[in-house]
Amino acid sequence: MKISETIRPFIHLLFPPVCRACGKLLSGDPSAILCARCASQDVSLKLPVCDLCGLPVPAPADPCSFPSSSHGCIPFKPAFDCIRSAVAYENPVRELIHQFKFQGSRRVRPYLQSLFADGADRLLGNFHLDAIVPVPLHWTRHFSREFNQADVLAQSLSRHSGIPVLADAVRRCKRTYPQSRLGGKWRGRGLEAAFCPGTDAVSGLDLLLVDDVMTTGQTISACAAALRQAGAHHIVGYTLARRI
Ligand SMILES: [Zn+2]
Ligand SMILES: [Zn+2]
């Protein structure tokens, strides 16, 4: 028996485990991170969904019910071919993503990675994919956060699917303000030339471009544009969560 297993009951007495989403005291399975109520919240997105925005539609050929421009439901012409998201950006997942991304919590990673893999099995079966590409962070943000959440998700999906990751297919050559913190009219500003091709060859490849959260789709589209510039053939955007 390891020392950590010996002292775990005492640690639990001093610091009782709580639900990572709502803070309720947990009893039972010591490895659980969510209470029964939070674990039962199903925020997964299921087919059919709109190719442009990833939101559910009534039937596969139906137009999206969120039209906002002549391009359809998102207010710009995207550089990706279609987009999918595993879950809606709602609690309990929203709180777990926050802990994963901004607090570096390793406890919540396996749960989020399993949601990401389940979503891929559910939503991506019809696509031919040569490689997975994580949306990169600017090096200054990567340095301060110490990891890229998109890279963590890409690597776990690669282990699940056997599809390789191209870690330097695209680079963030300009630091931009997080899109999620910008008001509607400012979103998309500053993303021009924010990404540029890296050293990994993507010419003729079918790519899965992954990120943690899709807000408007403009970041993932700007990243897809750089991959297009490098000759990528088909680009499917895939995020863990989608703001609705
Ligand atoms: Zn809870
Ligand atoms: Zn749509």
Tens digit of each residue's pLDDT (9 = 90 or more) over 187-213: 556 677 789 999 999 999 999 999 999
Ligand with minimal distance to 57 CA: 2
Ligand with minimal distance to 36 CA: 1
Which stretch of DSSP H or E encloses residue 122? helix 109-123
Residue owning tokens 């500053």: 190
Do 46 and 35 fall into the same domain?
no
Ligand with minimal distance to 32 CA: 1
Ligand with minimal distance to 72 CA: 2
Give just the sign of the alpha carbon dihedral 221, 223, 228, 233. negative
> pLDDT confidence of 53, banded at 50, 70, 90?
confident
Do 135 and 168 fall into the same domain?
yes
* Count of CB atoms situated within 10 Å of the CB of 59: 6
Cα 123 to ligand 2 centroid, rounded to whole Å: 15
Ligand with minimal distance to 34 CA: 1
Do 6 and 46 fall into the same domain?
no
Alpha carbon separation from 154 to 128, 178, 198 (Å, rounded) = 16, 20, 17
Q: Under DSSP, is residue 118 helix (H, G, I), strand (E, B) or coil?
A: helix
Instruction: Read off the CATH number of the domain in which 180 is found.
Output: 3.40.50.2020
Cα 118 to ligand 1 centroid, rounded to whole Å: 21
Do 50 and 133 fall into the same domain?
yes
Name residues whose C-beta falls within 8 Å of residue 80's C-beta, 6 or more positions apart in sequence. 209, 217, 220, 221, 224, 235, 236, 237
The domain in which residue 5 lies consists of 1-40
Cα 27 to ligand 2 centroid, rounded to whole Å: 41
Question: Which pLDDT tens digit goes with each residue over 119-173?
Answer: 999 999 989 999 999 999 887 777 777 789 999 999 999 999 999 999 999 999 8
Do 123 and 12 fall into the same domain?
no
Do 52 and 22 fall into the same domain?
no
Residue 26 has pLDDT above 70, yes or no: yes
